[in-house]
Copies of this chain bind each other. A is one copy, B any other.
Amino acid sequence: MEWSLTVDKALPRPVRVILRGVGQVFFCGNAVTGLIFLIALFIGGLVAGLAATIGVVTSTITAYLLGFSEDDIDAGLYGFNGTLVGPCLFLFLEYSPQLWLYVILAAILSSVVLAALIRILTPYRIPASTSPFVLTCWMFMVAVYSFDKFTPGPVLPTPEIPSIVAGMGGLSIEAWFTVWTDDTVKMWYTALTKGIAEVMFADNILVGILFLIGIAITSWRGAFMALCGTVVGVVVPVVLGANQNLIEMGLYAFNPVLTMMAIGWVFLKPTKKSAILALLAGILTVVCQAGLANFLAPIGLPTLTFPFVLVMWMFLFAAGMSKYWSEPKI
């Protein structure tokens, strides 16, 4: 929306850059959107909000000190990976005072990795997106098994050999699709909103709604794609018979949300064809998420947003070979 861009430009540069960094988590280089996201994060939890703030500030300053492109820094591109690193490590590792230092170190590394990937991917006009955050956090999380000073938290998956686990549990597919009681309505409502909130690790309905509002301020199409993504991330795993709890917590949805926003709004010309392509990519992201989760099971790491990154990379690389999309927007 027009007014948000005016506000964005009126802000003092450091504030604008930091807030845009938060906004870029959902591809929104807009300080107003970033502010709404940040408020939502604090509503989700004080520690998560603080960790995100420290992350985004650290990674942005790192980029500045290491002399990376000022344009990229101004767009908030060196902020969003740091934003994610903070809440991620505080969610998956047990709280301790030295964890703040660990987060700072990881946020620094995320900026180095981003610069490296920008250099590799730019000739193809492919974005690094959240891959630096994922790679950095995986390394810092799996490393703690070797360090006395840090301990894996209860949410970090226990390393184990993958095996067939009962998926749907109590509810059947029919229960999701045909029985409309107060319970199922609440179930849908919860899964769909949390699917957006979990992009920043918030298990919270209100946070999801605020994220969606923030996106809509930057772009209606973006918000629409996010909504489609969370629908795909609930419907497809239900149809395939995935674990009920994971679906309800939105843990199958946050990746398709990002995939559909990237393919259907940000990086390709926003046409009807792109919307269909985004839908296909969203569906495949669900399969990729299940596959990657089992792939990582023996070392006990969560997928984070890597299913989105992988599917997006494949589709954007492929789009460059197509007569319909060979001129990507970025």
A175 at the interface (CB under 8 A from B): no
Question: Across the interface, do A291 and B66 meet the contact criterion of CB distance under 8 Å?
Answer: no
B69 touches A115 (CB 8 A): no
Asked if A272 is at the interface of the complex by the 8 Å CB criterion, the answer is no
**Closest chain B residue, CB of each to CB of A148:** B241
Per a CB cutoff under 8 Å, which of B142, B288, B315 touches A295?
Answer: B142
> Per a CB cutoff under 8 Å, which of B138, B161, B164, B241 touches A291?
B138
CB contact under 8 A between A162 and B165, given known A115-B318, A317-B115: no
Stretch at the interface among A8-16, A33-41, A118-126, A184-192: A118-126
Across-interface contacts of A162 in B (CB, < 8 A): 142, 145, 159, 299-300
Smallest Cβ distance from A29 to chain B, in angstroms? 19
A120 pairs with B317, CB closer than 8 A: yes
Does more than half of chain A's interface fall in helix, strand or loop, or is it mixed?
A: helix
Q: From residue A135, how far is it (CB to closest CB) to chain B in Å? A: 9
A316-330 residues at the B interface, CB under 8 angstroms: 316-318, 320-325
In the complex, the answer to whether B241 meets A67 with C-beta atoms within 8 Å is no
Contact B317 A119 (CB under 8 A): yes
Residue A56 is within 8 A (CB to CB) of chain B in the complex: no
Tell me if B287 and A295 are in contact (CB < 8 A). Answer: no
**Contact of A321 with B118 at beta-carbon distance under 8 Å, contacts A109-B284, A140-B291, A152-B164 already known:** yes
- Bitwise, A144-176 to B at CB < 8 A (1) or not (0) is 111111111000000111111111100000000
Which residues of A from 128 to 144 have beta carbons under 8 Å from B? 138-144
Closest-by-CB residue of B relative to A138 is B291
User: Which residue in B119, B150, B298 is a CB contact (below 8 Å) of A321?
Assistant: B119
The A69-95 residues at the B interface (CB cut-off 8 A) are 69
Q: Which residues of A contact B (CB under 8 A)?
A: 66-69, 105, 108-109, 112-113, 115-120, 124, 138-152, 159-168, 237, 239-243, 277, 280, 283-284, 287-288, 290-295, 297-300, 313-318, 320-325
A109 partner residues in chain B, CB cutoff 8 A: 284, 314
Copies of this protein, total? 3
In the complex the two chains form, what is the Cα distance from A166 to B145 in whole Å?
A: 9
- Chain B residues with CB under 8 Å of A294's CB are 142-143, 145-146, 299
Given A161-B159, A287-B139; A148-B166 close (CB under 8 Å): yes
Assess the B68–A322 pair: CB atoms within 8 A. yes
Cα–Cα, bound, A120→B48 (Å): 38
Is the beta-carbon distance between A314 and B142 smaller than 8 angstroms? Answer: no
Counting chain B CB atoms within 10 Å of each CB, the highest count among A108, A148, A151 belongs to A148
| Sampled A-B contacts (21; CB under 8 Å) | A66-B322, A67-B322, A67-B325, A112-B315, A113-B314, A116-B318, A119-B318, A138-B291, A139-B288, A139-B292, A142-B291, A142-B294, A143-B287, A143-B291, A146-B242, A147-B237, A148-B241, A150-B240, A161-B161, A161-B300, A298-B299
